[in-house]
Structure 1
Amino acid sequence: MIITPGILTPFFCVFSYHRRFVAPRGLVPFLIAFIFLAGPGQAQQLRDTVKVGYIDAPPLTYQSENGRAEGSFIELTRRVAEEAGYDPDFEYLPVTRAYFYLRTGGIDVWPGVTDVPALKGEVLESFVSPQPFQLSAWGMQTMPPVSHFNDLKGTTLILISGYTYGGLADLLERTPDIALTDAPSHQAAVAMLKRGRGDYLLDFHGPVKAVLKEFPVQGIREYPVRIRNTAWVFSLANPRSSQLRDEFDDAYLRLAERGEVPQPRPLSEGFQLPGLADLL
């Protein structure tokens, strides 16, 4: 750090304020030393904190046994936030509460997906989309394949408790000829499917693959239902939401240019199971 007359002026002004003031011996050297030693540390302490809400969607985002935020999207969020000049403060939330906090300003950002109906008009989404996010129907090989939404009619679907599936859960509840049953976790849902307590499981690709890697089940088939874009979703209740969105996007692009994260993927319309658009 370079000491200039301008930096020391406030201190000397104090000493010269009154003609009779005599600085205690050693005070001026102490102040100069304080500036040298405290400068870099003080700069680090001035970093802002950004409140990040995350949900249970392994392996992208989840809470480890020791309470730490984990997952590929979490680690990416850490790197981008720090590159943007922020210290991320993670809070694990049920998905419905994450939506509520985004609407009310309880969190600043959610590493999630785009185009959530419940958040329309309440959030800003990053222009950068790090990876796709796939919702699938999972069934045992004894069940017919799912190639159209009508293939799910007359069946029982297993859903994860508390998941909105981007608004799809509410619509399924109002759809005739489809019965719904809840599972408390992804692992429990896979076990229910294996035991025949539902015809198909509606769940995300990452979490089910993580369960099957740890607890292999033979004969499970996956049928894509919806493929969406991941994004950082910023609360419009925060007056700095636009600035945060730009800073996160710029930080990601700098990291990508240095080869530290994947190149930005082009946003796409994704995929929807034929016939699903009639429901949405």
Structure 2
Amino acid sequence: MLAIFSSQNAYATEQSQALTWGYVNFAPYHYNDKGNVTGFIADHIKSIFKDSNLSFSAVELPNKRTKLYIENGKVDFSTVIESFISNPSDFLKSDLPVYHIILGAVCLKDTHEIKHIDDLKKTRLILLSGYTYGTDKQLDEKNGFNIELSAQNHDSAILALKYKRADCVLGYKSPTDVEKEKHPNLNLTFYKINEFPVYLFLNKKVVNATVIMDTINQHISPTHSPLAQ
């Protein structure tokens, strides 16, 4: 599950290989297609690195271990929301987000009143394994949430909804839109809860990390970053 995009890197001459981007299978943002990372955010990352004259390889990470891989320096950089990083002092964060993401609940019917996370306490809920959802609050029974199960991705979560395992899934808009197209008869409704910027985090242990991040920052344009989806 490795895709390599090569170019000459004028700023990291001491590096023996390309930087490693650790990503999760998260269609349509970034996902594995026959061994290559693809998706509209993957394309955006490729464009930033090409403009920065940098190279990288992309490695798909398992959801449950993604946080461990990133924070233990198993990959050089990642694109995540700020709350996902528990040890921010170990990383350089891009000045601007590389994109924005919309959090919400996708439910089988449109009769729910959902505007906040706490509104989901009234539902039987499916969570996505390994996701922080931009909150410090533990989404568990102790805090009043009725968690029916954890799913590996939006696809398996929606299948669980289909078989009435729960009422709603806490997930993200663009992946939900993909599932809506796959299951037009389910009458899925998405309720927006929040919106988060997603930044590029570069591990400080990377050779020439500061120079590399400065270069990346020069090529992240607020006018060319994808809109929240």
TM range, smaller chain: 0.7 to 0.9
The range that moved more, 125-134 or 198-207, is 125-134
Alpha-carbon deviation of 1:247? Answer: 1.0
CA distance in 2, matches of 1:151, 1:109: 34
Q: Which amino acid aligns with 2:157?
A: A
User: Is residue 48 of structure 2 the alignment partner of residue 87 of structure 1?
Assistant: no
The structure with higher relative contact order (CA 8 Å, sep 6+) is 2
SS, match of residue 73 in structure 1: helix
Cα deviations by residue, 1:179-214 (Å, 9 ceiling, x for unpaired): 211223312211222332112111111211112123
Change (3 A) 1:141 1:86: same
CA distance in 1, matches of 2:88, 2:142: 23
CA distance in 1, matches of 2:152, 2:198: 24
Cα deviations by residue, 1:153-204 (Å, 9 ceiling, x for unpaired): 2432111233333466x70125433121122331221122233211211111
Contact residue 162 and residue 186 of structure 2 kept, 8 A: no
Contact residue 63 and residue 129 of structure 2 kept, 8 A: no
Runs of 4+ in 1 over 6 A off after TM superposition: none
Find the partner of 2:114 among 146, 151, 155: 146
Cα deviations by residue, 1:14-40 (Å, 9 ceiling, x for unpaired): xxxxxxxxxxxxxxxxxxxxxxxxxxx
The range that moved more, 70-79 or 111-120, is 111-120
2:165 equivalent in structure 1: 197
2:68 equivalent in structure 1: 100
Find the partner of 1:226 among 156, 171, 194: 194
Change (3 A) 1:134 1:44: closer
**Amino-acid identity (%):** 20
CA distance in 2, matches of 1:243, 1:99: 25
- TM-score, scaled to structure 1: 0.67
Q: Which amino acid aligns with 1:50?
A: L
CA distance in 1, matches of 2:44, 2:72: 25
Change (3 A) 1:235 1:84: same
Aligned residues: 216
User: Is residue 16 of structure 2 the alignment partner of residue 55 of structure 1?
Assistant: no
Larger relative helix fraction = 1
Q: Which amino acid aligns with 1:105?
A: G
Instruction: Kindly report which structure 2 residues correspond to 1:102-117, keeping only aligned pairs within 5 A, or say none.
Output: 102-117=70-85
Unaligned runs of 5+ in 1: 1-42, 257-261, 271-280
Contact residue 9 and residue 54 of structure 2 kept, 8 A: no
1:178 equivalent in structure 2: 145
Change (3 A) 1:128 1:222: same
CA distance in 1, matches of 2:220, 2:47: 9
SS, match of residue 252 in structure 1: coil
CA distance in 2, matches of 1:45, 1:150: 47
Q: CA RMSD in A?
A: 2.9
Unaligned runs of 5+ in 2: 1-6
SS, match of residue 81 in structure 1: helix
CA distance in 2, matches of 1:44, 1:129: 25
2:36 equivalent in structure 1: 68
- Which is greater in Rg? 1
Larger relative strand fraction = 2
Q: Which amino acid aligns with 2:21?
A: V
SS, match of residue 60 in structure 1: coil
CA distance in 2, matches of 1:149, 1:44: 46
2:90 equivalent in structure 1: 122
Contact residue 65 and residue 130 of structure 2 kept, 8 A: no
CA distance in 1, matches of 2:160, 2:185: 12
- TM-score, scaled to structure 2: 0.80
CA distance in 1, matches of 2:206, 2:118: 42
